[in-house]
Amino acid sequence: MAGETLQVYFLGTAGALPTPNRNPSCVMVRHGSDTLLFDCGEGAQQQMMRARTGFLVDAIFITHWHADHFLGVLGLVQTMAFNGRTEPLVIYGPDGVHDFVDYTIKIGRTKLGFDLQPIQLAPGMAVRFEGYQVEAFATAHGMPSIGYVLREDVRPGRFDREKAISLGVPPGPLFGRLQRGESVTVTRDGAEVTITPDQILGTSRPGRMIIYTGDTRPIHHLQTEGLEGADLLIHDATFDDSERGRAGEVFHSTAGEAGEAASALKAHSLALVHISSRYTSMTNHIRDAEEKFEGEVLAPADLTMVEVPFRE
């Protein structure tokens, strides 16, 4: 995992209705060689063309079964089939994911050439990948819905090269084994000595974390233990704060409420998404969020790519 890139492509940042400048919900995350989609609104494959990401998606995670979050899957899987995909594609989601995959296959009326595999997730469940996992957590949208957190494994502490040499470890393959957490045996003063990683490595360092809420009321009012300290919180901000009453009625959030969530969860940066088509400017959204949150506030336009760096 060490040194893996972590990139977030905002392929669709609109609310329920698309606009000339915003597509429905779709966030692509690239972790090293893995590519994951979180929601897949209509037109997602065209956004992938515009962003030049290609179509090599390893898994799709759907937050809930409102059409603006899944309609893009139907076209995307057909494009994958036309391009000769043979590897299975897993679609994760809340209750209803098996029906969705069945309908997708039936409506297409063509043999895809690869398996679509539905897997239902509930809050607290996790999907394991190499060096990280994607966990589902509860959201509040008036229907079965979940959000997702991508959480990297804890990273080893920094390798002290000079300390290793002083303990008799020669530069080379044994360095790598120690960095991977393995003990090694060396000969020192005519005797075999075991060197353990804790003698060489500094304090372990946190992996990176991204939270994607999908559509929801502010998530800090829910059970959010374990979601503190995200590098990037991507939160529903359908309305500006003048529409707090409306946001509550339709189970969405305002930009200020997203800022409150980011502050409560001690996130490092906040991205405002699912923007209602009534807004042509993000000035009020950014202002409302910044009044509640001292960290970085982003209002990404479609096709924006954000790189998430390692933290010490």
Strand partners, 146: 138
CB contact at 8 A, 259 and 270: yes
Q: What are phi and psi of 209, to 5 degrees?
A: -145, 135
Structure tokens at 125: 């469940």
Strand partners, 92: 61, 119
What is the C-alpha separation between 149 and 128, in angstroms, rounded?
12
Q: What are phi and psi of 262, to 5 degrees?
A: -60, -40
- Among candidate residues 34, 39, 68, 215, the one labeled active-site is 68
Q: Which residues contact 228 (CB under 8 A, 6 or more apart)?
A: 265, 266
Amino acid type, 73? V
Residue with structure tokens 């336009």? 301
CB contact at 8 A, 173 and 125: no
Q: Is 231 a catalytic residue?
A: no
Q: Which residues are catalytic?
A: 68
